[in-house]
Structure 1
Amino acid sequence: MIYDVFSYWLPPIAANLGISCAYFSIFPAWSICFFGSSTTAMINGEDPRTKPEDYTVPPNWVPFHSEIAFRLHEAKKLFVHLKEDDSGVSDLFRFGSAIAGCDVIAIKSCMELESEWLNLMGELHGKPIVSVGLLPPSDKDNRENVTEHNSWLIISEWLDKQKTGSVVYVALGSEINPSQEDLTELARGLELSG
């Protein structure tokens, strides 16, 4: 059975039925490693970091040089997910339970991009790691992108007519749901940039 973080309750049920499980992560290995061991730090709350400032430096369990850390404003937003919500558990608990209950971790990544992090993830969680690659689009997606490609030609032509350094591209990604305050600050930043 393959499941994601939202089915964190599934592994014990599958184990009782003798069904093997794979946790599938769309998140990069570094982000999972940043939160420590699934059993101690994520589930049991034994992470020594207690305030947002603690997340602005790499965690002490990363044995190699890394500059990966959250900026303070990111860490403050992250803290919301480290606390119990109305369901009585935190998102971090869900992640920890999903990982702790699986037989193998499948991850949308590859050794060429994150070899140190993928190896560390296996050590932290005591699970075999299967990197499934970056999952290129299917042929169906490629056929649908023909229209998008034509759109890109129009955009590219427009960009070519603009003065160098006069266009700012803002991409928030599919996982971001900015608040009105965030949008206002983004607009203010763009306005101030000229």
Structure 2
Amino acid sequence: MSKTTASPPHIALLPSAGMGHLPPFLRLASMLSSRSCTVTLITASPSVSAAESSHISFFLSQHPQVKHIEFQVLPCKPSSNPTTDDPFFLQFEASNRSVHHLYPSLASASPPLSAIFSDFAVASSIAPVAADLGIPNYIISTTSCKFFCLMAYLPVLLSDTLCFSSSLSEVNIPGITPLPLPSIPPPFKNPSHLFTSLIATNAQALSKAKGILMNTFDDFEPETLAAINSGRVLDNLPPILPIGPLETFEPKKEQDQSYLPWLDSQPAESVVYVSFGSRTAMSSAQITELSKGLERSGYRFLWEE
């Protein structure tokens, strides 16, 4: 009797706007492709930034075997979102309104899709599409596990008008250490803010996912992963699957790692890591003042630019 060989899985990946979201998806796409999976990358058009467009183009040029689907996001009227003019928040909202147009492309995918890996920011809109197609959907969170807990628990927090009160010093989420109030994103303190409503809406759809993939690992966030997977944070979440650290898909470059011996020699939890991400623009004067403040603080710090 001859043995039948199972076809490799076909995974569709749907990132959302922002350079904090895109690279982890591309790294995962590269990893899956290198393991004989058929991969389809789905991107919104138009993109928000030139950096995203060039990053996608470079990735596809390096991975010609990856299929690519572009879907048009429906334009929105800025006046309909009076709480923000942030182009990334507006793109999140527009993508959510547009994802249902992917139905024909996903339904006709060849070979048929085995799973969809979609961004947290489109969890609520991709869920009914995946359910109608009978395709398991996995949510990818590009944040730390602790911040994911904050997003997942946000609908509960918003139901308490005092949870973000300035009279409080911290925000309490079951199972994890309290979060200092100044560390909470300012929009979260305004329930009507577009970003806040999007996070809360998508958080309520997490229970419909097959699982949640995170670019983290057990040794990095052991307590938080244990708390969320034991149901102490919320009891209706699917399993959190740590899949990190994801390696870069870009050609390997010689990197300066001279800081590692210094970092390894410091006491545990004594170094401040400074990184402002891809969207913060500071003047030379601001950078100078910030560096002076860090030096005068007396804390050890590692600054990534």
Q: TM-score range by the shorter chain?
A: 0.5 to 0.7
Larger proportion of strand = 2
Q: Which of 209, 224, 239 in structure 2 is aligned with 1:102?
A: 209
Aligned CA RMSD, in angstroms, stands at 3.5
- How far apart, in 2, do the equivalents of 1:6 and 1:12 lie? 15
Structure 2 unaligned regions, length at least 5? 1-115, 259-272, 297-305
Give me the TM-score of the superposition, normalised by structure 1.
0.62
Deviations for 1:61-97, whole angstroms, at most 9, x for unmatched residues?
Answer: 12x6x3x52352x43xx1314533458x624314414
Larger proportion of helix = 1
Q: Which of 12, 18, 22 in structure 1 is aligned with 2:134?
A: 18
User: CA 1:102 to 1:60, structure 2 compared with 1: closer, same or farther past 3 Å?
Assistant: closer
Structure 1 unaligned regions, length at least 5? 157-169
Q: Which residue of 2 aligns with 1:136?
A: 247
Paired residues for 1:111-150 under 5 Å: 111-122=218-229, 123=231, 124=234, 125-138=236-249, 140-142=250-252, 145-146=253-254, 149=255
Q: CA deviation at 1:189?
A: 4.0
Instruction: Please identify, of 95-104 and 109-118, the stretch whose mean Cα deviation from structure 2 is larger.
Output: 95-104
User: CA 1:172 to 1:60, structure 2 compared with 1: closer, same or farther past 3 Å?
Assistant: closer
Q: CA deviation at 1:106?
A: 0.8
Q: CA deviation at 1:36?
A: 5.2
Counterpart residue identity of residue 172, structure 1: S
Secondary structure of 1:32's partner?
Answer: helix
Q: Which residue of 1 aligns with 2:122?
A: 7
Q: Which has the higher contact order (CA 8 A, sep 6+)?
A: 1
Paired residues for 1:1-194 under 5 Å: 1-8=116-123, 9-35=125-151, 37=153, 40-41=155-156, 45-47=158-160, 49-52=163-166, 54=168, 56-62=169-175, 66=177, 69-70=179-180, 72=182, 74-75=183-184, 78-81=185-188, 83=190, 84-85=192-193, 90-122=197-229, 123=231, 124=234, 125-138=236-249, 140-142=250-252, 145-146=253-254, 149=255, 152=256, 171-177=274-280, 187-190=288-291
Q: CA deviation at 1:2?
A: 0.6
